[in-house]
């Protein structure tokens, strides 16, 4: 039911977007006739491709992913670019009309002719004034050929630019994750634990376009870091264990001194969260479900807590986030690091005195300027921030969702180094 509602919403939104694209890319650039009909039919097919791709990949038809998701990215950037071009195009039309009006010659009105003033018959009828009728000029407008030239120029510019941005984004998204190193001071961290390192990754998104080799590359990258802890902060998969269990298998090879940990993201709840919790546990990662683990290292103790994703609404393994269960009744003198998939969880976490929250979910915006919208929902989009006295680090994630495109937000694995005062 939720999937049907989502697809219905997508059909509505993408339908409106494609009407706009048809106006700017087809109607404005062609005259009535065959080419306009062909363009309209092509836009209709592309409009249908988006919901078909979403529903089809959800049903296991992964072959739909590449054409559908690539068009979704192109559609997005065409929309953005054409909207940006609306202003200069409007200015160009106004200037063209003004120039056309100024170029019109001024025609002086003819002198009125008097009829009857010089009648030789001596009639006494007064002269009648007649004005010669002249056609009224139509309002000046710019040359239709110029209007067509402007529309075609804008369409070509938007098309080439959108294709270039999308191509760059595909190369970035499909490439290896970047390593981000960040040092975060914690006031309560014992001096003996200074320099404790947590390899953090989120949003791996195994699914239609990412499989086992993606997992292997991430595991190899993390293992080279020789971290003390590994934190996988949700959205591991976009599919069931039956579909993606083999792709997730390399996680078994993760190495760290004090353990590897996992918390659920919202996509686990779309993919069979109970099965995935059991599968991740089988692969050797400790799943923190509204609970915490004491980390004894270098003569000190740190509390590592984890909560289920804020979108969870079920029971048992699918229970919603419970901050009291994970963070309540603990020694307040110890530092506590919370693993929570969505940065927005910090508003509740701060009430329990969390020192640091590690999150993902945002993808760093994934496709700029979409990051501006993400910032309306999440308090931190990417990198280190602070909310209500709690530090929040948000990693961009190592994968992508939907279009295999990343612009302005490269894939990322983060090495967090905790520093004592």
Question: pLDDT tens string for the chain (421 positions)?
Answer: 565 677 678 788 999 999 999 999 999 999 999 999 999 999 999 999 988 988 888 777 888 889 999 999 999 999 999 999 999 988 888 887 787 777 766 555 555 555 555 454 445 555 555 544 555 444 444 567 888 999 999 999 999 999 999 999 999 999 999 999 999 999 999 999 999 999 999 999 999 999 999 999 999 999 999 999 999 999 999 999 999 999 999 999 999 999 999 999 999 999 899 999 999 999 999 999 999 999 999 999 999 999 999 999 887 878 999 999 999 999 999 999 999 999 999 999 999 999 999 999 999 999 999 999 999 999 999 999 999 999 999 999 999 999 999 999 999 999 999 999 9
pLDDT, residue 318, reads 83
- What pLDDT was estimated at residue 112? 57
Residue 69 confidence (pLDDT): 95
- The ranges assigned to domains in the chain are 2-100+141-170, 177-419
pLDDT given for residue 140 in this prediction? 44
* CATH number, span 177-419: 3.60.21.10
For position 235, what pLDDT does the model report?
A: 98
- What pTM value is reported for the model? 0.86
HEC string of the chain?
CHHHHHHHHHHHHHHHHHHHHHHHHCHHHCCCCHHHHHHHHHHHHHHHHHHHHHHHHHCCCHHHHHHHHHHHHHHHHHHHHHHHHHHHHHHHHHHHHHHHHHHCCCCCCCCCEEECCCCCCCCCCCCEEECCCCCCCCCCCCCHHHHHHHHHHHHHHHHHHHHHHHHHHHHHHHCCCEEEEEEEECCCCCHHHCCCEEEEECCCCECCCCCHHHHHHHHHHHHHCCCCEEEEECCCECCCHHHHHHHHHHHHHCCCCCCEEEECCHHHHHCCHHHHHHHHHHCCCEECCCEEEEEEECCEEEEEEECCCCCCCCCHHHCCCCHHHHHCCCCCCCCEEEECCCHHHHHHHHHHCCCEEEECCCHHHCECCCHHHHHHHCCCCCEEEEECCEEEEECCCCCCCCCCCCECCCCEEEEEEEECC
């Amino acid at each position: 039911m939720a999937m049907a509602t989502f697809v219905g919403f997508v059909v509505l939104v993408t339908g409106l977007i494609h009407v706009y694209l048809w106006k700017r890319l087809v109607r404005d650039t062609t005259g009535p006739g065959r080419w306009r009909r062909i363009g309209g039919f092509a836009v209709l097919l592309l409009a249908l491709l988006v919901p078909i791709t979403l529903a089809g990949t959800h049903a296991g038809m992964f072959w739909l992913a590449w054409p559908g998701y690539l068009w979704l990215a192109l559609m997005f950037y065409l929309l953005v670019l054409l909207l940006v071009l609306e202003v200069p195009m409007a200015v160009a039309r106004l200037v063209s009309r003004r120039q056309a009006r100024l170029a019109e010659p001024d025609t002086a009105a003819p002198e009125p002719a008097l009829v009857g003033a010089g009648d030789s018959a001596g009639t006494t009828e007064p002269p009648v004034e007649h004005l010669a009728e002249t056609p009224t000029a139509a309002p000046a407008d710019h040359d239709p050929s110029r209007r067509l030239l402007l529309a075609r120029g804008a369409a070509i510019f938007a098309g080439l630019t959108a294709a270039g941005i999308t191509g760059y984004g595909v190369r970035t998204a499909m490439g290896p994750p970047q390593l981000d190193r960040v040092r975060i001071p914690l006031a309560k961290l014992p001096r003996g634990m200074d320099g404790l390192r947590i390899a953090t990754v989120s949003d791996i998104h195994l699914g239609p376009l990412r499989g086992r080799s993606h997992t292997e590359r991430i595991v190899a990258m993390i293992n080279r870091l020789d971290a003390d802890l590994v934190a996988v902060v949700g959205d591991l998969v976009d599919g069931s264990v039956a579909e993606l269990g083999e792709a997730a298998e390399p996680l078994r090879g993760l190495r760290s001194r004090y353990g590897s940990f996992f918390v659920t993201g919202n996509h686990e709840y779309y993919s069979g969260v109970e099965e995935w919790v059991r599968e991740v546990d089988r692969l050797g990662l400790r799943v923190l479900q509204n609970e915490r683990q004491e980390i004894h290292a270098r003569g000190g103790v740190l509390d590592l807590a984890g909560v289920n994703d804020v979108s969870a609404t079920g029971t048992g393994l699918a229970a919603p986030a419970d901050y009291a269960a994970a963070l309540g009744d603990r020694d307040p003198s110890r530092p506590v690091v919370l693993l929570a998939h969505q940065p927005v969880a910090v508003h509740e976490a701060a009430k329990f005195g969390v020192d640091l929250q590690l999150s993902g979910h945002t993808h760093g915006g994934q496709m700029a300027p979409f990051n501006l919208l993400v910032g309306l929902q999440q308090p931190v989009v990417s990198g280190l921030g602070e909310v209500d006295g709690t530090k929040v680090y948000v990693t961009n994630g190592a994968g992508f969702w939907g279009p295999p495109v990343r612009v302005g937000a490269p894939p990322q694995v983060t090495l967090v180094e905790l520093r004592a005062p």
